[in-house]
Amino acid sequence: MLLVVAVGVAFSYLFAFGWVGVGVAVVVALAMAWGSYWNSDKIALRITRARPADPHTYARLYNLVEGLCIASGLPMPRLYIVDDPAPNAFATGRDPKHAAVAVTSGLLEKMNRIELEAVLAHELSHVKNYDTLVATLAVTMVGAVALLADIGLRFLVFGGRRSSNSNAGGLVALISLLFIALAPLAATLMRYAVSRRRESLADLSAVEMTRYPPGLIAALEKLRDDTTVVRENNRATAHLWIEEPMPQYEGGDPRRSRWSHLFDTHPPIEERIAALREL
């Protein structure tokens, strides 16, 4: 939110909009946050083409989720199926009372009962820790910053920048322009950092829920070794899944530098497995 306001201030100075411009920026950010707060689950489920899971057809799924919810004191979330051979899962919703958990058909086919329970515990941990709300607001703020930056650059192209007779004013205008241009990148890196931290927290919370670290370790190992990719992947929802659904090493060496990991939505699975082995 502070980054959105800072972009609004730079935007207003650069184009001489004054505090009115800052107010508009804050209103836009609040409106986007409010809209995503109420509709994030519907949007995520629609993007991934998830369908409601039938209680009779997917009795094992319902049985495992009900048991975990009773053990952790969570209300029963809505359950969905994504018809995809790649094993994966995600949770969404603004709070535990309005949560939804979606799993792919590939996850149900490739995981045994213990591994599936561990994956579901991971997703329910996201719900319990309000990670779904944090992730939604992070995405929304990135969208607000990108929107403001795009508008600012368009104004600049069409000659909207105010003139400045002083060197100091010109320097501040230049700094404001650079800030607007680089703000979307900074916001995106912040979102990825938040996502990685919440994934690590969910792993540990899932183990607290199941009391069996080897279950989640085995599930992560299967996810690591499986080469299929979710067909309905999208960068807007990539941070929601238990494993990065986007192709990670397209056209490059998988032995990447640590700087390239700044753009990952998840910690490397090997690091997650190593952390669980230490418990």
- % of residues, the chain, pLDDT over 70: 71
DSSP string, 183-227: HHHHHHHHHHHHHHHHHHHHHHHHHHHHS-HHHHHHHHHHHHH--
pLDDT at 249: 44
Flag whether pLDDT at 9 surpasses 80.
no
pLDDT greater at residue 25 or residue 258? 25
pLDDT greater at residue 83 or residue 44? 83
Residue 232 annotated as catalytic: no
pLDDT at 113: 96
pLDDT at 111: 96
Flag whether pLDDT at 182 surpasses 80.
no
According to DSSP, the β-strands at 78-82 and 89-92 are: unpaired
Q: Could you tell me the pLDDT band of residue 168, with boundaries at 50, 70 and 90? A: very low
Structure tokens at 145: 């910053």
pLDDT at 185: 74
pLDDT (mean) for 174-191: 70
The partner residues of 82 in beta bridges, in order of sequence, read: 104
Of the candidates 115, 117, 123, 243, the residue annotated as catalytic is: 123
Return d(Cα 260, Cα 242) in angstroms, integer.
20
- Lowest-pLDDT range of 10-14, 110-114, 124-128: 10-14
pLDDT at 174: 67
Flag whether pLDDT at 253 surpasses 80.
no
Say how far residue 255 (Cα) sits from the centre of its chain: 24
Q: Could you tell me the pLDDT band of residue 250, with boundaries at 50, 70 and 90? A: very low
Q: Of 129, 146, 144, 111, whose CA–CA distance to 217 is shortest?
A: 111
* Per-residue pLDDT tens digits for 221-248: 999 999 888 886 666 677 788 887 766 5
pLDDT (mean) for 156-180: 58
| H or E element at residue 172 | helix 167-210
pLDDT greater at residue 107 or residue 165? 107
Max mean pLDDT range (24-33, 72-81, 166-175): 72-81
* Per-residue pLDDT tens digits for 72-112: 999 999 999 999 999 999 999 889 999 999 999 999 999 99
Cα–Cα separations (whole angstroms), residue 229 to 87, 111, 126, 225, 257: 8, 16, 22, 12, 23
Per the prediction, the chain carries an average pLDDT of 80
Structure tokens at 263: 């753009």
pLDDT (mean) for 145-166: 62
Q: Could you tell me the pTM of the whole model? A: 0.77
pLDDT at 193: 67
